[in-house]
Structure 1
Amino acid sequence: MAVVSPFRAIQFSGGRGDVSALVAPPYDVIDAAGKKRLLDRNPGNIVAIDLPHVPAKELGPPSAYQGAADRLDALLREGVLSKHASPAMFAYRQTFEFMGKSFERCGMACTVEIAPFGPRPGGGILPHEQTFSGPKEDRMALMKATRAQLSPIFGLYADDDGAGTSVVRGIMASRPADMTASTADGVRHEVWTVEDGAAIASFTRAMEGEDVFIADGHHRYTTALNYLKGLEEQGGVGPEHPARQCMIVLVGMSDPGLAIGPTHRVLGGMAGYSAEAFMQAASGHLRFLPVKGDVHALDRVLTDAPRHETHLGLHDFATGQSWLMSPVTPDPLRTQFPEKPDAWRMLDVAIIQHLIVEQICQPKLNSGQPVKWAFPHTIEEVQEIGRGAETGAGGGSGFAQMAVIVRPTPLDAVRDVSRANELMPQKSTFFYPKLATGLFVHRVE
């Protein structure tokens, strides 16, 4: 099974009080300006250690990573950071607004025994989607220098009986949080230190037989796995060595605060594209129903469409027109991917990638050349990209020709595809919000 354990976390302020000025978003959403803002507010912010080189997708000079290690060691010597005397778990609540609703997402920070990705008897560690080639060299250089995991993986588990979520929420209901933080995205973070053996045992029992699905942090988990392999090759890594554990926040799929949003697609850069040309090229594959109004109106129509059927929204930026799209056949990828499970073939994002892009846009509208992509999460961002803006969602600026609006990927699809040992296409899911960095650090020496 996926074995979870308490750990001796390193925390700011002894794990107590407000640490808003000391925590940061994950490294992969921070640019140079964002890093400067955090350090201007407080030079001791964790970002100085977690993001020593910008951008993280490039490997920085060795001095950057050694500087991060020196800073971590200095903060420990000065008592700004301190390591727990005994192992603990940490109940972690995030309170936030998302898509017009209020949520409280509750999980448990702990460590999980590192194992290769894939199913195992009694529960394995399962990735759920393909990832872009990312900052693996940067993360490995940082882990080697600091000998630490600086930010937790975000993991999910089925929690069909609600036992794990009940343990976590029961701890939160029993007393005030020990440590709090508020971040610039409006999210409230609260942490309860859990040293009680009975509570830890209850959560550990709840995880028995559970798969752990990596919701966010595939690169960091891979880095932890490769770091352990490197130590094993050198010899002398005992069964209790901290590097055998990966720091993770586990949230049950039964938790009512688990929010998943859409990741829309904006496509462009196609030499032969027009809305008319696209619909002609798609005849025989897709049906089109005109929708009056802007992209927001299209999104509302899509939201109200029957859930048991595949529906996608199409918006043409040149004309401002929109359509509701649906496949002509109920299983349009069956011929191309007969070996894939139904849950994978019916993913909206799989149909976009393998039907709309690979069978229609690239061969028929772009002479077989790759199209440009962006992956916005909101309708407002879709509109910005359509006006030519660079939002950081990919593709650059001024390329947008069409948007494909999607509904959020259902959680049961995440579970079913992962358990079938398959990977969803890149950017299939959007779990909001990100976990904060700086609430816990795990030393791996």
Structure 2
Amino acid sequence: MANIFPFQPYRYASSAGELQNLVTQPYDKISPAMQAKYLAASPYNLVRVILGERKPADNDSENVYTRATRAMDEWIASGVWARDAEPGMFAYFQEFVVPDTGERLNRKGFIALGQVEDYTKGIVFRHEQTLSGPKKDRMELLKHTRTHFEPIFMLYPDPAGAIDALLDEAAAAPPIAQVTDEYGAIHRMWKVGNPARIQELMADKKLLIADGHHRYETAMAFQRDHPELAGANRMMMAFVNMHSAGLKILATHRLVSGIDAAGFLKAAAADFEITEIGSLDTLKRAWAAGGDRSIIGAAMGDKLYMLEDRSARGALDVRILHERLLGKALGISEEAVRNEQHLRYVRGIDAAVEEVRKGAAQIAFLLKPTSVEQVADTSFGGRVMPQKSTDFYPKLLSGMVMYKLD
């Protein structure tokens, strides 16, 4: 089912400088402070292309997208980017420490081109809804540059680990690229020796989008608009076995502000058993006990609560949160959630509680991480999750390889 292909990427030449000064986190994870840091790191940093500076005088002929195209063309002409002589696929490993737990893992994947397929074909599956704003922005960048600068993150089922074994063979050699990112994750890349075998093994797989829904749907729309353009029906993807021990999803906690929270506990008591607890350890022990109970933590003022849904068994905690707590108990509409009104997201349970303690949020809702199995069941079942239901960690670096359509 999954059609994948080797390709001839552009990569940063060694003359461009240290790779750590050139690559970035994904565009939608770059804060203004990170953008400034990347801009200062190198005149060739990829942020100038994927998330350049907007200027007050920007117009139709001079703007962030035209500057991105100009920078890319200059880098290719001057040899800052060099194209590989032969097509290939690339093993891409990420060695990292899990935040909060300190566990050290190695996520193994590979980068290749994947066929852009409509969801209705039952080959590529999504797990979250998208918003029009980010797709419009990425479409403008793609229309101007005709280049994919960042791989989207795909999962595939391979419980036997046959493809992982081929990647391990490639990783026996010294890597062709290695860089440590700002979070301490070590990213290594090798050229795969037998891409045809990987193509064979992937042929019967279904694919699940882990990260990159907006870019994937942008590529689908671009393909429909440009059927004459060779290469528009393919995009750069990083593939990871969903059964890999190195696949980690972190929780994304919710911070609520600007609402009348006085009656929240009384309203929530209609659906939840509410217990005041003395520490986060109690909540973590309840999560670790497993079972099909839906348990959500809440921090309000200097108090902590554990909320256990009375009726839902085996339901997604994040869905219960959005429907019964944000929606029913607090009256925050789905549209407000989509527009991030009254709602912020934060990684790290201690950071979430601290936001409430210092008065930056009224309520912090604390969630157990969504499991890979829950994501797969939802996605392959044709359903989607609420926004920010998953945080696959670490993120794929942008700038390791680039795919130019023409």
TM-score normalised according to structure 2 size: 0.91
Matches within 5 A, 1:84-99: 84-99=84-99
Structure 1 residue aligned with 2:267: 281
The answer to whether the aligner puts 1:102 opposite 2:108 as a matched pair is: no
The 3 A distance-change label for structure 1 pair 443 and 308 is same
**In the alignment, is the contact (CA less than 8 A) between 2:336 and 2:342 conserved in 1?**
no
Q: Give, in angstroms, the shift of residue 16 of structure 1.
A: 11
Matches within 5 A, 1:213-292: 213-232=208-227, 236-237=228-229, 241-271=230-260, 273-274=261-262, 277-292=263-278
Structure 2 residue aligned with 1:393: none
Structure 2 residue aligned with 1:372: 342
Structure 2 residue aligned with 1:190: 188
- Alpha-carbon displacement from aligned partner over 1:232-256 (angstroms, at most 9, x marks no partner): 2xxx34xxx2211110100001211
Q: Give, in angstroms, the shift of residue 327 of structure 1.
A: 1.3
The separation in 1 between residues aligned to 2:191 and 2:60, in whole angstroms, is 37
Partner SS for 1:350: helix
**In the alignment, is the contact (CA less than 8 A) between 1:155 and 1:215 conserved in 2?**
yes
More displaced, 304-313 or 352-361?
304-313
**In the alignment, is the contact (CA less than 8 A) between 2:149 and 2:398 conserved in 1?**
yes
**In the alignment, is the contact (CA less than 8 A) between 2:299 and 2:353 conserved in 1?**
no
Q: Give, in angstroms, the shift of residue 404 of structure 1.
A: 1.8
The answer to whether the aligner puts 1:46 opposite 2:46 as a matched pair is: yes
Structure 2 residue aligned with 1:394: none
State the superposition RMSD in angstroms: 2.5
Partner SS for 2:77: helix
The separation in 2 between residues aligned to 1:97 and 1:60, in whole angstroms, is 44
Any gaps of 5 or more consecutive residues in structure 1?
Answer: 332-342, 390-397
Aligned residues with identical type, % of pairs: 29
Any gaps of 5 or more consecutive residues in structure 2?
Answer: none
**In the alignment, is the contact (CA less than 8 A) between 2:10 and 2:403 conserved in 1?**
yes
Structure 2 residue aligned with 1:303: 287
Q: Which amino acid aligns with 1:228?
A: Q
Structure 2 residue aligned with 1:326: 308
The separation in 2 between residues aligned to 1:86 and 1:16, in whole angstroms, is 21
Q: Give, in angstroms, the shift of residue 132 of structure 1.
A: 4.0
The separation in 1 between residues aligned to 2:41 and 2:154, in whole angstroms, is 30
Partner SS for 2:290: coil
Partner SS for 1:375: strand
Q: Which amino acid aligns with 1:83?
A: R
The answer to whether the aligner puts 1:443 opposite 2:393 as a matched pair is: no
The 3 A distance-change label for structure 1 pair 94 and 15 is farther
The separation in 1 between residues aligned to 2:133 and 2:354, in whole angstroms, is 26
The separation in 2 between residues aligned to 1:217 and 1:255, in whole angstroms, is 20
- Alpha-carbon displacement from aligned partner over 1:65-92 (angstroms, at most 9, x marks no partner): 1221121111111111111122110100
TM-score normalised according to structure 1 size: 0.83
- Alpha-carbon displacement from aligned partner over 1:118-142 (angstroms, at most 9, x marks no partner): 452xxx1111112344422221111
Structure 2 residue aligned with 1:356: 325
The separation in 1 between residues aligned to 2:84 and 2:209, in whole angstroms, is 26
**In the alignment, is the contact (CA less than 8 A) between 1:92 and 1:190 conserved in 2?**
yes
Q: How many residues align?
A: 397
Q: Give, in angstroms, the shift of residue 146 of structure 1.
A: 1.2
Q: Which amino acid aligns with 1:227?
A: F
Structure 2 residue aligned with 1:395: none
**In the alignment, is the contact (CA less than 8 A) between 1:132 and 1:426 conserved in 2?**
no
Q: Choose the corresponding residue for 2:298, options 314, 317, 322.
A: 314
The separation in 1 between residues aligned to 2:161 and 2:257, in whole angstroms, is 44
